[in-house]
Amino acid sequence: MIELGSGKQSLQLSTAVIGASGVFGFSTEYARLMDLSKLGAFVTNPITLKPRRAAEGTHVVALDSGVLIHTGLPNPGVHKTHQLHAARWKNMPTPVVVHVIAANPDELVQCVQVIDQHYGVDGIEIGIHDEFVHREVRKFIEAARSHTHLPILAQLPLNTAVQVALAAEDGGADALVVAASPRGTARDPLTGQFVGGRVYGPWLKPLGLRAVGQICARAKIPVIGAGGIFNPIDARDYIAAGAKAVQIDAVAWLRPAMVETICRDLGGLELTRKAGSFEDEWWPGIGETAVMRAQLLPSPPPMPPVKPPPELPR
């Protein structure tokens, strides 16, 4: 059991795998494709104070190494979302975390107040803007912290995660999500127009692992790794880098069944590595073939320790 936050309203994760925001919908959209009860927690699509419509034009551009998604973050607003999904959240088989995006602290406070008073959910994830500097991040999280006792997850931008992580911690965040998928631009082959959006793909994993390692070396609160996780080994690498849990995103679009496989793996129900596994990764009943492979194949050399930067700003 993994605990995020403290006190009576801490977020309890039965497994170290969380469904990332923007991937699984607002509630039960993926219930027919996978067993949502295997997730340690479920993060909703982004929710704003006022309703937002879907972006016009191209929404998806295939890339050689992934995909670019441009949605405009459509949602019915914080009040209407509660009316539409509150009943489903109460019956969800896993803890529900609401992802909130806001243009300024005032908007954020209004959203948090509604969620805290009416939603009946288990936590709040706050998306941090790419352009926010250290002072703005701390002010943003402090505004939310002062209006709720729910656990707060701060989703950091990949490009500035190392620089602003401690600001989110000082502001009162209970955990750091490292990191949100970065923004990119690609040409739509059908229209010839440039499209901007979030970029997903396996190539994000090395960038995410580096950021997680640097932040874990200094932060005192749990870190949740995210980016480029497409199989159990990817998830295990984030845990080895220091993350307490991981968030799964694009693999749910490509291979929904893999999400459950990753959940089982981190829960000790699957073989984690063919060779060189840590002692606590081996479980009874993994099979004679797997044991034989582990005995025959040489163990890989240990990973070098992560060297943090000399000083992270506070």
Q: Rounded mean pLDDT of the chain?
A: 90
**Is the confidence at residue 107, as pLDDT, over 60?**
yes
Q: What confidence score (pLDDT) does residue 268 get?
A: 72
In this predicted model, what pLDDT tens digit does every residue of 277-288 receive, in sequence order?
554 454 443 444
Q: Which residue has the higher pLDDT, 1 or 209?
A: 209
Q: What is the pLDDT of residues 219-264, one digit of tens each?
A: 999 999 999 999 999 999 999 999 999 999 999 999 999 999 999 9
Check residue 1 and give its pLDDT: 86
The pLDDT, as a whole number, for residue 311 is 66
Please report the domains of the chain, with CATH numbers, ordered by start residue.
2-270 (3.20.20.70)
How far is residue 181's CA from residue 162's CA, in Å, rounded to a whole number?
A: 15
pLDDT of residue 6: 78
Q: Classify the phi-psi angles of 293: left when phi > 0, otherwise alpha if psi is within -120 to 50, otherwise beta.
A: alpha
- Judging by DSSP bridges, how do beta strands 194-200 and 66-69 pair with one another? antiparallel
Is 133's pLDDT higher than 50? yes
CA 282 to chain centre: 26
**C-alpha torsion angle, residues 22, 28, 32, 38 (rounded to 10):** 80
Whether 312 has a pLDDT exceeding 80, the answer reads no
**CA torsion sign, 169 to 155 to 230 to 10?**
positive
Give the pLDDT confidence score for residue 300 in this predicted structure. Answer: 58
What average pLDDT does range 136-149 have in this prediction?
Answer: 98
Question: What is the distance between the alpha carbons of residues 299 and 311, in angstroms, rounded to a whole number?
Answer: 34
> Taking a C-beta distance cutoff of 8 angstroms, is the pair 123, 11 a contact?
yes
Strands of the sheet with 66-69, listed across from one edge: 60-63, 66-69, 194-200, 183-187
Kindly tell me if the per-residue pLDDT of 36 is higher than 70: yes
Q: pLDDT category, 269, cuts 50, 70, 90?
A: low
Distance CA 239, CA 232 (A): 11
Amino acid at 234: D
32's CB contacts (< 8 A; 6+ apart) are none
pLDDT at 288 (0 to 100): 42
**The pLDDT value given to residue 223:** 99
- Per-residue pLDDT, averaged over 144-165, amounts to 98
Averaged pLDDT, 24-45: 96
pLDDT in tens, 289-308: 444 545 555 555 666 666 66
Note the maximum CA span of the chain.
61
- Grouping H, G, I as helix, E, B as strand and the rest as coil, residue 265 is helix
> What pLDDT is attached to residue 279?
45
**Are 240 and 303 a contacting pair, CB within 8 Å?**
yes
Confidence of residue 9 (pLDDT cuts 50, 70, 90): confident
Determine whether 309 is exposed, middle or buried from the number of CB atoms within 10 Å of its CB (0-12, 13-18, 19+): exposed
pLDDT: which is higher, 306 or 34: 34
Burial 95-104, CB ≥16 within 10 A → b, else e: bbbbbbbbee
| AA letter at 194 | F
pLDDT of amino acid 221: 98
